[in-house]
Homo-oligomer: A and B are copies of this chain.
Amino acid sequence: MGDCCETEQGVYVDSLLNLEWLRKSLVREEDSIIFSLIERSKYPINSRLYDESAAASLLHLFIKESEAVQAKTGRYTSPEENAFFPASLPPPQHKLVETFGTYQVLHPSGACININSKILNHYLNTLIPLVAAKGDDDRNYAATAASDLACLQALSRRIHYGKFVAEVKFRDSPQDYTPAILAKDREGLMKLLTFESVEEAIKKRVEKKAMVFGQEVELQENGNYYKVKPELVSQLYGEWVIPLTKFVQVEYLLRRLD
């Protein structure tokens, strides 16, 4: 219960650059991602929600307006949060949050990396058709959009943690990364950041989590039906979440010596 109750600014900033805290946060975020995908699977695709043929899609408007409400509540003063539509977000607007500054935890030119448009595209085009059943239930567009936003925010947080991971790794051994950064050697950096056995373990763990969290729990034992296919979550991590997190790390490191 409440595994991140830092009370002081200093403690909070320190924890963002503490590898053990980051590891724990990444593992905990797996649960949030899987819960949110299972919740999204309650609704059919509802593809009209994403239709951009006339003007902006209903989802687009929903996310934009929801992010404005969350910005007023101070969400984007946290370096862990990246908006999907960061242009023209309102500032914090309540005495409790309006004095919040923005923490400078990261190297400034890397701090602003935001690959949410990539995440949104991939989510809309690849993930939703795999998670949601075909069909349309027009009464639930708002609930569907809210659950899309929860998925997107959880994925975005996980993937952008790559910035903190890269900063910690760089601080731990700048000599390992500096030559590749100076040579703008993306491939070399990717190699330095790749640990296949760790990635395999993550993929197995999220598959197991999807089996545990997505099962139909009855008082009597029952069959093996899962709300979201466990192998899909493993695939999501293997083909998408892990590569994008590393992409963020590489981009961050390339700017680390600016």
Chain B residues whose C-beta falls within 8 Å of the C-beta of A70 in the assembled complex: 62, 142, 146
Task: Tell yes or no: A255 within 8 A of B by CB.
Answer: no
Contact call A58/B96, Cβ cutoff below 8 A: yes
Contact call B227/A42, Cβ cutoff below 8 A: no
Task: Tell yes or no: A182 within 8 A of B by CB.
Answer: no
Task: Tell yes or no: A95 within 8 A of B by CB.
Answer: yes
For the complex formed, measure the closest distance between the CB of A204 and the CB atoms of chain B, giving whole angstroms. 6
Task: Tell yes or no: A169 within 8 A of B by CB.
Answer: no
Copies held by the complex: 2
Contact call A138/B100, Cβ cutoff below 8 A: yes
Task: Tell yes or no: A4 within 8 A of B by CB.
Answer: yes
For the complex formed, measure the closest distance between the CB of A222 and the CB atoms of chain B, giving whole angstroms. 12
For the complex formed, measure the closest distance between the CB of A47 and the CB atoms of chain B, giving whole angstroms. 11
Task: Tell yes or no: A31 within 8 A of B by CB.
Answer: yes
Task: Tell yes or no: A192 within 8 A of B by CB.
Answer: no
Chain B residues whose C-beta falls within 8 Å of the C-beta of A132 in the assembled complex: 1-2
Binding site for B on A (CB under 8 A): 1-7, 12, 28, 31-32, 35, 38-39, 41-45, 48-49, 51, 54, 58, 61-62, 65-66, 69-75, 77-78, 80-81, 94-97, 100, 103, 131-143, 145-146, 150, 201, 204-205, 208-209, 212-213, 215, 217-219, 227-229
For the complex formed, measure the closest distance between the CB of A122 and the CB atoms of chain B, giving whole angstroms. 19
A135 to B1, CA, bound (A): 11
A247 to B55, CA, bound (A): 45
Indicate whether A141 sits within 8 Å of B38 (C-beta atoms), given known contacts A1-B227, A43-B2, A219-B205. no
Chain B residues whose C-beta falls within 8 Å of the C-beta of A2 in the assembled complex: 41-45, 132-135
For the complex formed, measure the closest distance between the CB of A81 and the CB atoms of chain B, giving whole angstroms. 8
Chain B residues whose C-beta falls within 8 Å of the C-beta of A49 in the assembled complex: 96
A38 to B146, CA, bound (A): 18
Chain B residues whose C-beta falls within 8 Å of the C-beta of A138 in the assembled complex: 74, 96-97, 100
A-B contact pairs, 10 of them (CB 8 A): A1-B132, A2-B45, A31-B217, A32-B42, A35-B35, A61-B72, A65-B69, A70-B142, A74-B138, A208-B217
